[in-house]
Amino acid sequence: MKLINLKSIKLILGILCVISCTKEPTDCNCGTILNDGIDNGCYWLEIESNCSGNPKTFCFDQSVWYDNHVGDYFCVTNESGW
């Protein structure tokens, strides 16, 4: 009887792991800020995509740039992903 319970527990844990480990991020327009700076009036943030892992640099107005920092999670609203 204990053997059946142990197998059942292992099966349930395995299923839970597969479900949680294969969950894909759905916000492909979001990611982690890797770097920031100012060049020729462009307040830029370099952001690594949640989905692809690719970095991309975006220009923002000063207030957006000032309120977001390296390591923060950030979503680019007018971008579908990169």
Domain range summary for the chain, segments of one domain joined by +? 25-82
| pLDDT value of position 81 | 87
Q: How confident is the model at residue 5 (pLDDT cuts 50, 70, 90)?
A: confident
How many Å is the Cα radius of gyration of the chain? Answer: 20
Does 43 score more than 60 pLDDT?
yes
Give the pTM. Answer: 0.68
Does 16 score more than 70 pLDDT?
no
Q: Can you tell me the mean pLDDT for 58-71?
A: 97
* CA separation for the pair 70, 17 (Å, rounded): 31
